[in-house]
Amino acid sequence: MGLRFPKRPAVRMLALSFLISSPTFAAGPPLQEPPRLPPMSEVEFGRLLVTQRCANCHAVAPDEDRYAAPLHGLFGRKAGSLDGYTYSRNIKNLGIAWSASTLDNWLAQTTFDTPDIRMRHVGIPMQDQREAILAFLKTLPGNAPSDQE
Ligand code: HEC
């Protein structure tokens, strides 16, 4: 039986690096059944990315607090509108509400076509990573499917 890799390239890379770092693989092709990779769904991959790339600054659970606005209750919310958080004038002036497409656009860019957005360091150029992040964000409280368009 052959090795089974997840379809998405980024997940595959992760799986590959896991394999390469495993001693069995480094010692050459195993004679018996190869080790099974832990399966990772798109949502789990998204959770991993958000933990690494977003969660220092943004809460993902209602009982957490971070300095930037939380990522739950996000879909349908107007950009830069949550009380108690400091936003740049420019994010408020975007005049958009967060949806799958505005978030995809936001995450793809580091400047969001607007100078002086405060979150300028984050840019996720890989589309499959943005899709995984969005898939995970959609599972958070207050990000109900009815708000996601
Ligand atoms: C180093 C801190 C930091 C990291 C890491 C970070 N952000 Fe941000 N984020 C901010 C800040 C600061 C703002 C406010 C931007 C402004 O006011 O211009 C913001 C704004 C946002 C907003 C708009 C919030 C609102 O209420 O309108 C979203 C959505 C967002 N970030 C998502 C993400 C996601 C998803 C990630 C991970 C891929 C991420 N951020 C990583 C600091 C961060």
CA-closest residue to ligand 1 atom 19: 119
Q: Ligand 1 pocket, 17 CB below 6 A?
A: no
Q: Which of 41-50, 83-92, 110-119, 129-138 has the lowest mean pLDDT?
A: 110-119
Asked whether residue 38 carries a pLDDT value surpassing 60, the answer given is yes
Whether ligand 1 lies within 6 angstroms of the CB of 13 is answered as no
* Size of the chain in residues: 149
Percent of the chain with pLDDT over 90: 50
> For residue 69, what pLDDT band results from cuts at 50, 70 and 90?
very high
Q: With 80 as the cut, is the pLDDT of residue 45 above it?
A: yes
How far apart, in whole angstroms, are the C-alpha atoms of residue 111 and residue 136?
Answer: 23
The pLDDT value given to residue 95: 92
Give the burial string for 71-104 (b: 16+ CB within 10 Å, else e).
bbbbbebebbeeeeeebbebbeebebebbbeebb
| Ligand 1 pocket, residue 144 CB under 6 Å | no
Residues sharing a CB contact under 8 Å with residue 78, sequence separation 6 or more, in sequence order: 95, 96, 97, 98
Residue 29 Cα, ligand 1 centroid: separation in angstroms? Answer: 44
Q: List for the chain the helix, strand, coil content (%; round to 5).
A: 40, 5, 60
Using alpha carbons only, give the angle 128, 131, 133 rounded to the nearest 5 degrees.
110
Is 133 near ligand 1, meaning CB less than 6 Å away? yes
Q: Which domains does the chain have, with CATH numbers?
A: 1-40 (no CATH), 41-147 (1.10.760.10)
113-139 pLDDT tens trace: 566 666 655 789 899 999 999 999 999
d(CA 124, CA 119): 12
Contact assessment for residue 72 and residue 61, using Cβ atoms and an 8 Å cutoff: yes
Give the predicted TM-score (pTM) of the model.
Answer: 0.77
